[in-house]
Amino acid sequence: MKERILKVGKGVLVALALVVGFSSCEKKEDTPIAMTEVSQVALPQDAQASVNSARAKWCWCTDYIKNRLGYWGVKAGDAKDMGSWLTKIGWKKVPSFSATDLPRNKDIIIFQPGAHGAHSSAGHIGMVASAQNVRGNILVRIVGANHEGKGKNKRPTWTEYDCTNVSIWEIQSLQQSGVSLYRK
């Protein structure tokens, strides 16, 4: 197992490791993640400043996104329904994406139920960390909560925006079906 250490905040170290994994939110097409370009990940400048350890807890994917956008405690429904809420707070739906018009860092990505293995009734939501064209396929890395995997497929997690289960999910071939992007 290869590890890369990233210094986050004042003396806080987060170990990002090469892991193989997928959770109930993903299909087996997902691949190992290698954090070679940590600077491209949509992390805050000082992740420690975004954490209140007294209230940090395990989060649903929707909690992480709302917290990250500064809407702590706001009710917005399941991941599959968050597009209308994002529009109300000023985000615009991206009409389409492709291997030549990629998702961008800090875009919000919503998976409808079952898309790329997202929860069968609630869907999934995260924030794009990076995307690239790999031989015509869209490789995307998504930062969010509640997609850390299980057992031998468990990904490293860290705490930010009051969520203790933040991780990176990599999808090697992102498909448009059932996927929406929102951009500020």
Q: What pLDDT does residue 110 have?
A: 98
User: What are 126-171's pLDDT values in tens digits?
Assistant: 999 999 999 999 999 999 999 987 777 788 999 999 999 999 999 9
Coil, strand or helix: which one is 56?
coil
Q: What pLDDT does residue 164 have?
A: 95
> Can you say whether the dihedral through the CA atoms of 151, 56, 168, 66 is positive or negative?
positive
Pairing mode of beta strands 92-94, 108-111: unpaired
Structure tokens at 68: 């990250």
Q: What pLDDT does residue 155 have?
A: 87
Residue in the block written with tokens 């500020």? 184
Q: What pLDDT does residue 51 have?
A: 61
User: What are 48-106's pLDDT values in tens digits?
Assistant: 445 666 788 999 999 999 999 999 888 889 999 999 999 999 999 999 999 999 999 99
Q: What pLDDT does residue 154 have?
A: 81
User: What are 98-111's pLDDT values in tens digits?
Assistant: 999 999 999 999 99
Q: What pLDDT does residue 109 have?
A: 98
Q: What pLDDT does residue 68 have?
A: 96
CATH number at 17 reads 3.90.1720.10
Q: What pLDDT does residue 66 have?
A: 97
Between 48 and 2, the more confident residue is 48
Residue 86 structural domain? 3-183
Q: What pLDDT does residue 127 have?
A: 98
Domain count, the chain: 1
Structure tokens at 111: 């998976």
